[in-house]
Amino acid sequence: MSRRLAEAGYRLRSYDVDAAAPRTVETLAAVADGAGIAILMLPSSDVVEHVLVDEGLLDALAAGSLVVDMSSSEPMRTRALAEEASRRGVELVDAPVSGGVRGAEAGTLSIMVGGSSAQLERCRPLLERMGSKVAHVGAVGSGHALKALNNLLSATTLLISSEALVAARRFGLDPHVFLDVVNGSTGRSLSTELKLPSFVLSETYDSGFALQLMVKDLRIALGLARATDAPFALAEASAELWSRAADALPADADHTEIARWVAEALER
């Protein structure tokens, strides 16, 4: 995503706590120097709050700056952070993404923006360099709510697709034939079209999105359900299975390894 912005002519100040990651400045505070827009891509609300408040990025940004949180964060905490930013003269919008590593590289991400129309127009040129679909989904926090619900759907679809794949193999169906037919039928999904053939049948399990992050997003979605009294029986069951997989697999496991866990769990 940073590379696409740089190629478009934007001047970037990039920082990562991982010293091995590409970066152009050596301190977080240096990111704010002269920056009108600060983009965050971080793993959780805890980290976002730490960077903005505890580490002082909000204080370092000039009044009138805009923070674009492209992380997958908790909607209500995002709204609270937007209020905190406003008290310091800084604006904050949420703009989480979907599309994975391939989408980021190709600039075809789907970006869900929560904030005012004016705020979206201010950062739209940057977002359109990173995504092919930029949608204004509501007030601040709405993007993070939609992203969590999207990942609930994605996770549950991958889980049931993995179970179906195990059943197909046990019956004696060729898994490649199984997926080819499903992908021309009503059961197809991104999981059957991309994730299972590319990362599971190949046994690479390298989609680039961590299983632990998927579990975090499922928990955010469940929190939304409880806050709105929405019926989430299937979501509860899905989240429970994903949590069990997270406990059993290595901490750095890719989320597509849920398919391997499903197969091994059934074998036991």
CA distance 157 to 191: 7
Q: Which two tokens stand for residue 75?
A: 């909607």
How far is Cα 93 from Cα 142, in angstroms, rounded to an integer? 9
- Compute the distance between CA of residue 111 and CA of residue 189 in angstroms, rounded to an integer: 20
Burial degree of 138 (CB within 10 A; 0-12, 13-18, 19+): middle
Q: Is 195 a catalytic residue?
A: no
The span from the first CA to the last CA of the chain, in angstroms, equals: 42
- Name the catalytic one among 133, 147, 195, 216: 147
Cβ partners under 8 Å of residue 106, min gap 6: none
Q: Give me the helices (H) in the chain, please.
A: 2-7, 28-31, 45-49, 57-60, 75-87, 100-106, 117-130, 142-171, 175-182, 190, 211-228, 233-248, 258-267
User: DSSP assignment, residue 257?
Assistant: G
Please list the active-site residues: 147
